[in-house]
Amino acid sequence: MKKIAIIAIALIAGSTVMAQQGNPTTEKRLERQPEMQTRSAEDRAKMRTERMTENLNLTEEQQKRVYKLVLEQAKMKDAQREQRADRREAVREQRDETDARIREILTTEQQERWDAMQKQRSERMDQRQEHRREMRQKPASRGEQMQQRSRGDQAPQRRGDSAPVR
């Protein structure tokens, strides 16, 4: 019985240590992420092809074919990013126009309350965005999430919940 208890404690301690260490591959990727986004599609494709060549010992022919595919994918990704920015701007303009038309309908007192509501909405959005930014900087492993919950840290909540989700 004592042996089983000792083995169980060793397994729990080992998994806790592993969870504390994090994932070095993920950490390296996150460090490279901002600089990769500022590089051209050609530079990103070249770097990716070089890494694949190094790790997979690609032949010259394979390198050319991989580079061509990766470059095509990088250009498509850039185009999608640009389309997303355009759509975001169009939505922003449409929302501003709708807000202006709503203000025309409201009385002065209602406009003041509307402005206060809009300010609160904006603050909540800023808080959510900051939280997302923090979470992207250091993604918690599943083990870390479980440890936070066992220590009593607040678990993520669903919209409308008043108590933490367990």
Each residue's pLDDT tens digit, 92-120: 999 999 999 999 999 999 999 999 999 99
- Predicted confidence at residue 166, as pLDDT, reads 45
In a domain, 130, yes or no: yes
Tokens 């993520």, residue?
156
Domain-located, residue 53: yes
Residue 71 has pLDDT above 70, yes or no: yes
Reported pTM: 0.47
For residue 48, count other CB atoms closer than 10 A to its CB: 18
Q: Considering the domain boundaries, does residue 52 fall inside one?
A: yes
Q: Is 25 part of a structural domain of the chain? A: no
Q: How many CB atoms lie within 10 A of CB 49?
A: 21
Looking at the structure of the chain, the number of domains it has is: 1
Which of 27, 71, 28 shows the shortest CA–CA distance to 49? 71
Residues 6+ apart with CB under 8 A from 49: 58, 63, 66, 67, 70
Residue 155 lies in a domain: no
Confidence of residue 134 (pLDDT cuts 50, 70, 90): confident
Where in the sequence is the domain holding 95, given as residue range(s)? Answer: 41-135
What would the mean pLDDT of 151-155 be, rounded to a whole number? 56
Residue 106, classed as helix, strand or coil, is coil
Q: What pLDDT shows up at residue 36?
A: 59
Q: Give the helix ranges, DSSP H, for the chain.
A: 2-21, 24-38, 41-56, 60-105, 108-137, 142-150
Q: What is the mean pLDDT of residues 8-17?
A: 67
Cβ(49)–Cβ(32) below 8 Å: no
- For residue 97, the model assigns a pLDDT of 96
With respect to residue 160, please indicate whether it lies within any of the assigned structural domains: no
Report the pLDDT value the prediction gives residue 6, as an integer from 0 to 100.
Answer: 76
State how far the Cα of 46 lies from the Cα of 155, in Å rounded to an integer. 42
The answer to whether residue 48 is domain-embedded is yes
Spatial contact of 23 and 130, defined as CB atoms under 8 Å apart: no
Tell me whether residue 34 is in a domain: no
CA angle 87, 34, 73 (to 5 degrees): 60
Q: Which amino acid is at 75?
A: K
Phi/psi at 162 (nearest 5 deg)? -100, -15
Higher pLDDT, 128 or 12: 128
Average of pLDDT values for 26-44?
72
